[in-house]
Structure 1
Amino acid sequence: MPEIGDTAPDFTAPLATGDVESITLSERLEDGAPIVLAFFPGAFTGVCTTEMCTFQDRLASFNDLDASVYGVSRDSPFALNEFREQNGLEFGLISDFNQEIIDDYGIAMDFADLGVYGVAKRSVFVVDADGEIAYSWVSDDPGVEPDYDEVEAAVEDAA
Structure 2
Amino acid sequence: MVDVGDDAPDFTAPLVSDDIGPFTFSERDGDGPAVLAFFPGAFTSVCTAEMNAFQSDLAAFDDVGATVYGISVDTPFGLQEFKAQNDLGFGLVSDTNKEIIDAYGVTMDFADFGYYGVAKRAVFVVDADGEITYKWASDDPGAEPDYEEVKQAAADAA
Q: TM exceeds 0.5? A: yes
Instruction: Identify the residue that residue 153 of structure 1 maps to in structure 2.
Output: 152
CA separation in 1, counterparts of 2:33 and 2:150? 11
| Paired amino acid for 1:19 | D
CA separation in 2, counterparts of 1:18 and 1:47? 24
CA separation in 1, counterparts of 2:30 and 2:45? 33
> Which residues of structure 2 form unaligned runs of 5+?
none
CA separation in 1, counterparts of 2:157 and 2:22? 25
Q: TM-score, normalised by structure 1?
A: 0.97
> Which residues of structure 1 form unaligned runs of 5+?
none
CA separation in 2, counterparts of 1:23 and 1:138? 24
Query: How does 1:1-159 map onto structure 2 within 5 Å?
Result: 1-28=1-28, 31-159=30-158
CA separation in 2, counterparts of 1:135 and 1:141? 19
CA separation in 2, counterparts of 1:33 and 1:22? 20
| Paired amino acid for 1:101 | I
| Paired amino acid for 1:25 | F
CA separation in 2, counterparts of 1:20 and 1:32? 22
| Paired amino acid for 1:139 | S
CA separation in 1, counterparts of 2:70 and 2:128? 18
* Runs of at least 4 residues off by over 2 Å: none
- Deviation string 1:117-148 (CA, Å, 9 cap, x unpaired) is 00010000000000000100000000000000
Comparing 106-115 with 41-50, greater Cα deviation is found at 106-115
**RMSD, aligned CA:** 0.8
- Deviation string 1:33-74 (CA, Å, 9 cap, x unpaired) is 100000000000000000000000000000011110000000
CA separation in 2, counterparts of 1:126 and 1:139? 16
CA separation in 2, counterparts of 1:60 and 1:21? 24
The structural deviation recorded for 1:90 is: 0.8
Comparing 13-22 with 45-54, greater Cα deviation is found at 13-22
